[in-house]
């Protein structure tokens, strides 16, 4: 069982994650949305730390938070010619979006309630029974058993990077 302090820290991090996620989808200024997305991703990394998954927390910060920063740079590069100082999001399908969000809320709530009814409850385990927990073991698996998916992801990321550079060059000629 987790201590009361760890439980309180979890609930604070969960609250920050949920509030920042709400701001990501509700703010009209795209730059502010991106900043709240960075906060949300940092909070998820905090949950990983609480679950004793430090490697996943590091990957979360390096890849996702770093990726968001790069995405913001590309967005500024691609929209630098706009005369408007602020890019605003427009959504003309608010009713459909609200319906999808409410449906997702019902599905997630049902899954959480079903998980809580399972023997053992919904508590966080202090030390999950994972046999592979070191970066060395994860790296060994990535380069032996999972080498094909690992290489496919690297090729996909390379193609995306080249595509972004080509798009930026075409607009900026």
Query: Tell me, what's the pLDDT at 127?
Result: 46
Q: What is the dihedral of CA 21, 22, 27, 30, to 10 degrees?
A: 20
Query: Tell me, what's the pLDDT at 83?
Result: 47
Res. 3: pLDDT tops 50: yes
Residues of the domain holding 149: 132-173
pLDDT in tens, 9-20: 999 999 999 999
Evaluate whether residue 56 is within a structural domain.
yes
Evaluate whether residue 76 is within a structural domain.
yes
Does one domain contain both 9 and 62?
yes
Does one domain contain both 74 and 152?
no
Nearest to 43 by CA among 59, 29, 31, 60: 60
Does one domain contain both 67 and 142?
no
Give CA separation, 111 vs 107, 114, 115, 116, in Å. Answer: 6, 5, 6, 9
pLDDT in tens, 102-144: 998 898 888 777 776 655 554 544 544 446 567 777 778 777 8
Evaluate whether residue 157 is within a structural domain.
yes
Does one domain contain both 6 and 72?
yes
Evaluate whether residue 158 is within a structural domain.
yes
Q: What is the average per-residue pLDDT within 152-170?
A: 77
Q: Domain containing 47 — which CATH number?
A: 1.20.120.1200
Does one domain contain both 83 and 4?
yes
Q: Tokens standing for 60? A: 């979360």
Check: CB of residue 75 under 8 Å from CB of residue 63: no
Q: What's the chain's Rg over C-alpha atoms?
A: 20
Evaluate whether residue 115 is within a structural domain.
no
Does one domain contain both 14 and 79?
yes
pLDDT in tens, 24-44: 888 887 778 888 888 999 999
């Amino acid at each position: 069982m987790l201590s009361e302090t760890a439980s309180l820290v979890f609930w604070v991090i969960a609250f920050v994650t949920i509030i920042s996620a709400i701001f990501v989808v509700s703010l009209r200024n795209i730059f502010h949305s991106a900043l709240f997305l960075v906060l949300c991703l940092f909070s998820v990394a905090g949950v990983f730390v609480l679950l004793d998954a430090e490697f996943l927390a590091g990957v979360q910060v390096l890849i996702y938070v770093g990726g968001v920063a790069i995405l913001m740079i590309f967005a500024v590069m691609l929209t630098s010619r706009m005369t408007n100082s602020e890019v605003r999001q427009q959504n003309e399908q608010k009713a459909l979006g609200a319906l999808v969000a409410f449906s997702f809320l019902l599905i997630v709530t049902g899954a959480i309630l079903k998980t809580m009814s399972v023997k053992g409850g919904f508590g966080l385990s202090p030390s999950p029974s994972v046999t592979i927990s070191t970066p060395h073991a994860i790296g060994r698996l990535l380069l032996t058993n999972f080498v094909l998916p690992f290489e496919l992801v690297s090729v996909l990321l390379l193609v995306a990077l080249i595509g972004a550079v080509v798009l930026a060059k075409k607009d900026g000629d």
